[in-house]
Copies of this chain bind each other. A is one copy, B any other.
Amino acid sequence: MQNANNAQLRFSMVKQRHRKTFEEALAKGLVDRQLIPICKFISKQREFFTSSGCAGRILLICLPKGEEKKEAFFVAKWHRKVKFSELKEALAKECNNELWFKQEPFILHIGTNTIENARKILKIAKKAGIKRGGIMHLGLGKIMIELVGTQYLSLPIKKGKKLLADDRFIKFILQKANKKLEKNYERLKKFERILISELSP
């Protein structure tokens, strides 16, 4: 009983903290547009919260030698479809080693208080066709679920000052990346619809 009370207290505190962080990020325009309806809905639920998340993106990342992630930096980052001219412009920017072109899927972290609630989220994710993710942390009064999309594309595109591929190929992979990003957002929208329908009273 003491444990249950501690869990409830801890969850309330964590939930409150994350709601505040979310509202601040929202006010500053830092929340990905495609995630706002999901995050807003979850924020209003008494037994759930969201922590970090990304709706999915297209990016250029500069990897220094050894590919240490810490030293990597984004040369460009878009949470939407990208035009060839925009990509070309970004490709002209400096990266002293390897530049990678990537389309990454959404990643969303949802927190809850009980295993039963975590199970609900897993079921909703499954129903929405989300194949990757699960409960990644099971703490007292804090259970974290990670959901990840499966649409991605990733390749090196420039080495030093030299492009590794010609415009025709770059156009082709950008078209693929845009299409995959669109599919990724559709999956997220499907999750949003099912989530709202299943969790609404």
Complex contact A119–B134 (CB within 8 A)? no
A122 touches B137 (CB 8 A): yes
Q: Which of B136, B156, B172 contacts A133 (CB 8 A)?
A: B136
* A165 adjacent to chain B (CB < 8 Å): yes
Which B residue sits closest to A133, measured CB to CB?
B134
By size class, the interface of chain A is 20 to 34
* 0 or 1 for each of A131-143: is its CB under 8 Å from B? (1 = yes): 0111111100000
Complex interface: stretch among A6-14, A144-152, A188-196: A144-152
> A156 to chain B: which residues have CB within 8 Å?
172-173, 176
Closest residue of B by beta carbon distance from A143: B135
Closest to A136 in B: B134
Binding site for B on A (CB under 8 A): 115, 118-119, 122, 132-138, 145-146, 148, 152-156, 159, 164-165, 168-169, 172-173, 176
